[in-house]
Chains A and B, each alone.
Chain A
Amino acid sequence: AQTVTQSQPEMSVQEAETVTLSCTYDTSESNYYLFWYKQPPSRQMILVIRQEAYKQQNATENRFSVNFQKAAKSFSLKISDSQLGDTAMYFCAFMKLIQGAQKLVFGQGTRLTINP
């Protein structure tokens, strides 16, 4: 079974700083997807960024980028120029496709606080 591990339960940085959230996963699959979701205090789950395992290029979405190391099974999220609105729980998630079905496996989350 796939597992996703986020080793940092909590992190705190100052506004405008850069922060990196760690995620490792365990799988024997070669084709899969990885995601970062953000859950602000409103509890809404918001997709931040997506990475296909077959793509070597790291995904980027504005201030958010990932460092995908397939061999090391590592998928970290970098937030540049952090903003107060980035304060949230961040979940790393692994997805594989099985015969027309998909299942997301989430890590335990990292609570990120951006301080003014």
Chain B
Amino acid sequence: DSGVTQTPKHLITATGQRVTLRCSPRSGDLSVYWYQQSLDQGLQFLIQYYNGEERAKGNILERFSAQQFPDLHSELNLSSLELGDSALYFCASSADYNDEQFFGPGTRLTVL
């Protein structure tokens, strides 16, 4: 157990819908990262937050957005969902920006 929690574990929804994925970092970790793992694209970095501020952006679609709250938990919002958004979404956290990342168990999103 990495100490990073993600909810829900599984999510099944329809095209065009909007969902919110939630992540609680390890106690004391200030940085949160989101990744998407799909069969065709592999593991891709989406976005990083550090103590509430966006720090780095990767291959995140405009339909996706994220935020980190004062209690340091983070949410990833996915809207206008398409079939191709079906994937495993990981959250990771690190104590500081130069520390290794510890991954949560992931949220499996299925878009039908």
Contacts and interface: CB of A to CB of B under 8 A. Distances in A.
A45 to B, nearest CB: 4
Contacts of B90: 45
B103 to A, nearest CB: 4
B42 A102 contact: no
Contacts of A103: 45, 48, 56, 58
Contacts of A33: 100
A104 B56 contact: no
By DSSP majority rule, is chain A's interface helix, strand, loop, or mixed? strand
B100 A47 contact: yes
B32 to A, nearest CB: 12
Contacts of A43: 88, 105-106, 108
Give chain B's interface residue range (CB within 8 Å of chain A).
20 to 34
Interface residues of A, number: 23
B101 A104 contact: yes
Interface stretch (A21-29, A66-74, A80-88, A93-101): A93-101
Interface of B: 2, 31, 33, 35, 42-45, 48, 50, 55-56, 58, 88, 90, 92, 94, 97-98, 100-103, 105-106, 108
12 contacts: A42-B105, A43-B105, A43-B108, A47-B101, A91-B43, A97-B98, A100-B55, A100-B97, A102-B56, A102-B97, A104-B101, A107-B42
10 closest Cβ pairs, A-B complex: A101-B56, A45-B103, A101-B55, A106-B43, A100-B97, A103-B45, A108-B42, A103-B56, A102-B97, A50-B100
